[in-house]
């Protein structure tokens, strides 16, 4: 949907009509004091606008926050170490961080111990509990997640009534450039993590930018990306196995009964297993591992990023049927960084897959933690390998 805003400036002209050719003079007093005009009222000085974040040509970034009553303000984020800010005129706190590395970074302010987003920055990470601003420092030459001068796809938003869950739901769908005139296209179903929602993979993960660039470079085949709300059930304050199991089971029902049918009747796509892929991160990785073992007849390509592995009893059917899983899946790719807090659990789960004879690829990336810079690279690595 495109909103076109127009503004119209209206002017009025006040005309004082003449009432006749004869002017009547009013009596005046000769001893009256000459009329004096009141002194013009002094206009209040307008404060200079607060710009934050302010990216410099030298690679520095200046953060600013107007907080006149604050005693201490700091900025913290993925750009580097926490930085203390200094109070200046009009209660504006500021700090300049030199040599910020290129990338899409999360950051926030800490004001007298309270965490707040940057009120001057409209780039906000979509989350269940929003608390993060986005700093995007482009690379030179551009990275896959930077905006590039290449053909761009389109993002679509759908609101639908889920029959499986009996409630209204939302999904974001990316269609590649030229999708309208292309033949039936494959679809990657892409799930987010516990704190995110259906908008996070595009607004913060830059999935559409990544695919635009890969397709332009002919490194990935044109495909749709369907990004549903991975919380089929309302989340609690933290991720626990009891919630994760119930939520994944509900999500898989909705995926097969509502989401796939919605995509396949709304877009010109190939409705067959070899043209469907599923990938997800963290909680979405929990979904992906479950899909690989319980729904291999529906998806032939699966990617699990920094996953929270499901309990073995939840995927017992797939674990006990390795021949079925192996014959169905063309790619079962699992990736995790060795600094990720879920690294040990991924090691244990992949060892179990190996013990059961289930073919998979396990990619351990050195120095990587549990964060979006890692997952953008994982998506960039998976997309060229699917639907080949």
- Burial class of residue 245, CB neighbours in 10 A (0-12, 13-18, 19+): middle
In this structure, what are the phi and psi dihedrals at residue 88, rounded to the nearest 5 degrees?
-120, -155
- What count of other Cβ atoms lies within 10 Å of the Cβ of residue 21? 5
Fold classification of 54-137 (topology level): Immunoglobulin-like (2.60.40)
User: Residue 210: is the preceding peptide bond cis (ω within 30°)?
Assistant: no
Measured between alpha carbons, how far is residue 280 from residues 9, 15, 268 in Å?
A: 50, 69, 23
Give the burial string for 215-235 (b: 16+ CB within 10 Å, else e). bbeeebebbbbbbbbbbbeeb
CA quadruple 341, 346, 347, 348: dihedral sign: positive
Whole-number Å distance between alpha carbons of 328 and 359: 11
Taking the C-alpha atoms of residue 214 and residue 105, their distance in angstroms, rounded to an integer, is: 22
Q: For 103, left (φ over 0), alpha (ψ -120 to 50), or beta?
A: left
Q: Could you tell me which residues come within 8 angstroms of residue 341 by beta carbon, excluding any fewer than 6 positions away? A: 369, 370
Q: What is the CATH number of domain 154-385?
A: 3.40.50.1820
pTM, two decimal places:
0.86
Task: Tell me the residue length of the chain.
Answer: 388
Question: How much is the pLDDT for 48?
Answer: 78
Give dist(CA 239, CA 279) in Å, integer.
19
Rounded Cα distance between 267 and 305, Å, is 27
pLDDT at 145: 97
- The rounded distance, in Å, linking the Cα atoms of 386 and 332 is 10
The residues near 193 (Cβ < 8 Å, ≥ 6 apart) are 200, 230, 280, 281, 282, 283, 284
For the record, the structure tokens of 244 come out as 């994760």
14 token code pair: 């006040």
pLDDT of the residue at 20: 34
How far is 220 from 322, CA to CA, in rounded Å? 29
- Asked if residues 226 and 179 have their Cβ atoms less than 8 Å apart, the reply is no
pLDDT per residue rounded down to tens, the chain (388 residues): 333 333 333 323 222 333 333 323 333 333 444 455 555 555 555 677 899 999 999 999 999 999 999 999 999 999 999 999 999 999 999 999 999 999 999 999 999 999 999 999 999 999 988 999 999 999 999 999 999 999 999 999 999 999 999 999 999 999 999 999 988 999 999 999 999 999 999 999 999 999 999 999 999 999 999 999 999 999 876 666 678 889 999 999 999 999 999 999 999 999 999 999 999 999 999 999 999 999 999 999 999 999 999 999 999 999 999 999 999 999 999 999 999 999 999 999 999 999 999 999 999 999 999 999 999 999 999 999 999 9
Domain ranges in the chain?
A: 54-137, 154-385
Residue of 239, 258, 250, 357 whose CA lies nearest to 306: 239
- Collapsing DSSP to helix, strand or coil, 276 comes out as strand
pLDDT of residue 340: 98
Closest alpha carbon to 215 in 189, 179, 181: 179
Give the torsion sign (CA, 179, 183, 184, 186): negative
């Amino acid at each position: 949907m495109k909103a076109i805003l127009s503004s119209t400036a209206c002017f009025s002209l006040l005309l004082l009509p003449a009432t006749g050719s004869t002017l009547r003079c009013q009596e005046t007093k000769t001893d009256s004091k000459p009329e004096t005009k009141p002194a013009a009222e002094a206009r209040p000085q307008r404060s200079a606008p607060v710009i934050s974040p302010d990216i410099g040509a030298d690679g520095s970034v200046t953060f600013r926050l107007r907080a006149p009553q604050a005693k201490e303000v700091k900025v913290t984020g993925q750009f580097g170490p926490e930085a203390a800010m200094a109070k200046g005129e009009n209660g504006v706190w500021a700090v300049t961080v030199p040599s910020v590395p290129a990338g899409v970074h999360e950051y926030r302010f800490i004001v007298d111990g309270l965490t707040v987003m940057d009120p001057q920055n409209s780039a906000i990470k979509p989350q269940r509990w929003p608390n993060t601003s986005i700093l995007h420092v482009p690379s030179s030459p551009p990275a896959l997640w930077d905006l590039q001068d290449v053909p761009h796809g389109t993002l679509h938003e759908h609101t639908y009534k889920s029959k499986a869950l009996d409630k209204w739901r939302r999904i974001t769908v990316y269609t590649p450039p030229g999708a309208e005139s292309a033949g039936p296209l494959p679809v990657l179903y892409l799930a987010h993590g516990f704190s995110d929602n259906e908008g996070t993979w595009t607004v913060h993960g830059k999935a559409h930018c990544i695919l635009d660039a890969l397709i332009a470079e002919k490194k990935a085949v044109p495909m749709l990306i369907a990004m549903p709300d991975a919380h089929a059930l309302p989340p609690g304050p933290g991720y626990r196995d009891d919630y994760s199991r119930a939520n994944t089971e509900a999500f898989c029902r909705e995926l097969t009964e509502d989401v796939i049918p919605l995509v396949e009747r709304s877009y010109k796509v190939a409705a067959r297993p070899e043209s469907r892929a599923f990938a997800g991160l963290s909680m979405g990785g929990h979904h992906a591992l479950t899909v690989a073992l319980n729904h291999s007849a529906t998806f032939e390509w699966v990617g699990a990023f920094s996953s929270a592995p499901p309990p073995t009893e939840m995927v017992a059917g797939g674990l006990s049927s390795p021949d079925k899983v192996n014959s169905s899946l063309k790619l079962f790719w699992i990736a995790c960084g060795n600094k990720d807090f879920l690294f040990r659990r991924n090691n244990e789960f992949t060892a179990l897959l190996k013990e059961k004879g289930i073919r998979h690829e396990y990619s351990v990336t050195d120095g990587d933690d549990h964060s979006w810079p890692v997952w953008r690279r994982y998506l960039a690595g998976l997309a060229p390998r699917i639907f080949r």
